[in-house]
C-alpha cells in the first residue's frame, strides 16, 4: 500500500459545499487548491454540462480519473472533487493515496435548497430533480462513508465554520500539524 499523502481531500454530494469550503480552507491554510471539476472542464475547454451533452458521462468520468492521477505527488494541498468521484473504486484508491478524505454531508433538504440555486448539474436535469436527488443520494451514501476518514455535517453551517471544524478534527486525528494555518 502506498504511503498516504498530506492533502485534505473533500468528497460529498452536489450541494455539500465542497467548492466553497475548499476555497475557505485554501485561504485559511495558505495551501494550493485543486478542483477536479475545474481540471476536467479546462481539459475539454467547455463547461461540465457541455461535456455531458457532447461527450457523455463516461468521457467525463474518464477525465475525472485522469485529473486525480495528475494530482498525485502534489503533497500538501486542498483537493476538491465532484460528487460522483467515489463511484469508481480506482478513484477511491487514488483519493486515499492523496491524503485525508473528508466527507462533507448535509441533510437532503439542505442539499436540495443549495443545488436549486444553480441549474448547472446535468445529473439533476430530470423531470423530478428532487426524486432524482433522493435516489442518487441513497445509492451514493455508502460510497462516501466507506471512502471517508472523517465526516462533517455541513447542514446549517457557514463555510468558514465547516472549514474550521475540519482543521480542528484533523488536528485531533494527528494529521493537522502538516497544515499550517495563517
Residues that bind ligand S3P (CB under 6 A): 14, 18-19, 37, 48, 82-84, 121-123
CB of 29 to ligand S3P, least distance (A): 20
Q: How far is residue 70 from each of residues 34, 43, 66, 85, measured CA to CA in Å?
A: 11, 12, 6, 15
Report the nearest approach of ligand S3P to the CB of residue 85 (Å).
7
The residue among 30 and 89 lying less far from ligand S3P, judged by its C-beta, is 89
Report the distance separating Cα 71 and Cα 100, nearest Å. 14
For residue 180, the minimal CB distance to ligand S3P (Å) is: 27
Q: Which residues contact 23 (CB under 8 A, 6 or more apart)?
A: 33, 159
Classify residue 14 by its DSSP letter. Answer: T
Residue 84 or 99: which CB sits closer to ligand S3P?
A: 84
Taking the least distance from each CB to ligand S3P, the nearer of 132 and 178 is 132
> Is 64 within 8 Å of 91 (Cβ atoms)?
yes
**83 or 176: CB nearest ligand S3P:** 83
Half-sphere exposure of 3 (CA within 13 A, CB side): 4
Q: Which residue is nearest to ligand S3P (CB)?
A: 82
Quote the least distance from Cβ 170 to ligand S3P, whole Å.
Answer: 22
Least Å distance, CB 171 to ligand S3P, is 26
Nearer to ligand S3P, 144 or 176 (CB): 144
Round to whole Å and give the CA distance between 68 and 108: 28
Amino acid at each position: 500500500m502506498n504511503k498516504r499523502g498530506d492533502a485534505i481531500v473533500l468528497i460529498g454530494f452536489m450541494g455539500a459545499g465542497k467548492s466553497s469550503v475548499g476555497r475557505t480552507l485554501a485561504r485559511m491554510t495558505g495551501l494550493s487548491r485543486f478542483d477536479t471539476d475545474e481540471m476536467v472542464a479546462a481539459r475539454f475547454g467547455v463547461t461540465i454540462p457541455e461535456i455531458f451533452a457532447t461527450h457523455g458521462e463516461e468521457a467525463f468520468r474518464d477525465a475525472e480519473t485522469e485529473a486525480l492521477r495528475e494530482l498525485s505527488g502534489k503533497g500538501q494541498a486542498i483537493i476538491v472533487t465532484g460528487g460522483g468521484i467515489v463511484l469508481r473504486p480506482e478513484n477511491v484508491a487514488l483519493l486515499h493515496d492523496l491524503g485525508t478524505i473528508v466527507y462533507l454531508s448535509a441533510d437532503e433538504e439542505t442539499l436540495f435548497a443549495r443545488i436549486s440555486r444553480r441549474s448547472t448539474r446535468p445529473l439533476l436535469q430530470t423531470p423530478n430533480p428532487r426524486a432524482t436527488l433522493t435516489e442518487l443520494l441513497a445509492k451514493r451514501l455508502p460510497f462516501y462513508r466507506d471512502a471517508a476518514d472523517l465526516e462533517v455535517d455541513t447542514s446549517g453551517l457557514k463555510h468558514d465554520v465547516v472549514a474550521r471544524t475540519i482543521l480542528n478534527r484533523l488536528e485531533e486525528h494527528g494529521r493537522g500539524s502538516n497544515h499550517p494555518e495563517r
